[in-house]
């Protein structure tokens, strides 16, 4: 998907259906979101999952590790940038040391030797940086083909897309080959998780949404979120 198409879709999604609403204050566009969710689910069921399963069967685990590491190394560049933008200089430095070691001794990133050396991988993106800067998530938003997001994270995704080093790849065919391979690898890594979700959820849409919102909040605070001020939170009401 080109950035322009992506933006047009985002604009459509944002502008089109502001009136459709559920009763969850975090998800005022629930009607529209559920529609896109249904579409994504079908796309996943008939295209992404079969391809990911085929890839799993055809490519041995060892090789899939190399592929994951290769893309993980490319991702580390802007994970570092985002850590710097959030003022976490030590983490950002860590990320760039990872890139330095993995790109050279790790043979263009296919071996994650930095982790064995004690430089752990992080998970950052522009959505998290905005969150760190104080932006709330805004309304929940399901993006066509891309899945769960929020107004803040969706905006971040546009920046992630523009700064993605894969987008600089020439020629054109190589670029889309890499984009496709990364998508397939990512979906293949999520096969177990999505099956567990399928089993665990009573209402998959709600379960996915709540998990996404919890997960993003946790990521923004790097695993140490402050306690939520939730009037419905009966956390202290455990029966003994």
Partner 1 sequence: MTLTRSLASALAVLAFALPARAQEAAPDQLVKSVTLEVIDLITKDKEIKSGDRAKLIQVIDAKVLPHFNFTAMTALAMGQSWNKATPEQKKRLTEEFRTLLVRTYASALAAYSEQRFDFRPLRAKPTDTDVIVQVRVLQQGAQPVPIDYSMEKTASGWKVYDVMVGGVSLVANYRTEFNNMVRESGVDGLIKNLSAKNRQLEGAAK
Site residues (CB under 8 A) for partner 1? 24, 65, 68-69, 71-73, 112, 120-123, 189, 192-193, 195-196, 199-203, 206-207, 210-211, 214-215, 217-219, 223, 225, 232-235, 237-240
Task: Report in angstroms how near the CB of residue 192 gets to partner 1 at its nearest.
Answer: 4
CA neighbours closer than 13 Å in the CB half-sphere of residue 40: 17
Closer residue to partner 1 (CB): 110 or 146: 110
Strand, coil or helix: what is 52? Answer: helix
Of 19 and 237, nearer to partner 1 (C-beta) is 237
Contact 138, 150 (CB under 8 A): yes
114, β-bridge pairs:
none
The least CB distance from residue 171 to partner 1, in Å, is 26
Shortest separation between residue 146's beta carbon and partner 1, angstroms: 19
Task: Map tokens 């939170």 to a residue.
Answer: 233
User: Residues 168, 171, 172, 177: what is their CA dihedral angle, to the nearest 10 degrees?
Assistant: -90
The least CB distance from residue 106 to partner 1, in Å, is: 10
Phi-psi region of 145 (alpha: psi -120 to 50; beta: other; left: phi over 0): left
Which lies closer to partner 1 via its Cβ, residue 4 or residue 238? 238
Which one, 15 or 223, has the nearer CB to partner 1? 223
């Amino acid at each position: 998907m080109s950035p322009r198409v992506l933006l047009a879709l985002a604009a459509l999604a944002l502008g089109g259906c502001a009136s459709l609403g559920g009763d969850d204050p975090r998800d005022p566009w629930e009607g529209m979101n559920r529609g896109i969710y249904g579409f994504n689910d079908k796309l996943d069921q008939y295209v992404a999952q079969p391809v990911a399963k085929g890839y799993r069967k055809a490519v041995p685990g060892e090789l899939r590790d190399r592929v994951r590491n290769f893309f993980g190394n490319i991702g580390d560049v802007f994970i570092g940038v985002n850590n710097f933008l959030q003022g976490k200089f030590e983490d950002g430095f860590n990320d760039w040391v990872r890139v330095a070691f993995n790109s050279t001794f790790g043979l263009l990133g296919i071996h994650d030797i930095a982790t064995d050396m004690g430089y752990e991988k992080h998970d950052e993106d522009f959505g998290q940086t905005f969150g760190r800067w104080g932006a709330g998530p805004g309304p929940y938003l399901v993006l066509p083909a891309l899945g769960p997001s929020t107004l803040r994270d969706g905006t971040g995704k546009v920046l992630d897309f523009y700064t993605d080093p894969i987008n600089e790849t020439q020629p054109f065919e190589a670029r889309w080959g890499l984009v496709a391979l990364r998508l397939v690898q990512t979906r293949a890594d999520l096969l177990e998780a999505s099956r567990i979700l399928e089993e665990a959820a009573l209402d998959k849409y709600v379960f996915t949404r709540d998990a996404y919102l919890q997960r993003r909040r946790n990521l923004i605070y790097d695993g140490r979120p402050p306690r939520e001020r939730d009037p419905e939170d009966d956390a202290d009401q455990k029966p003994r």
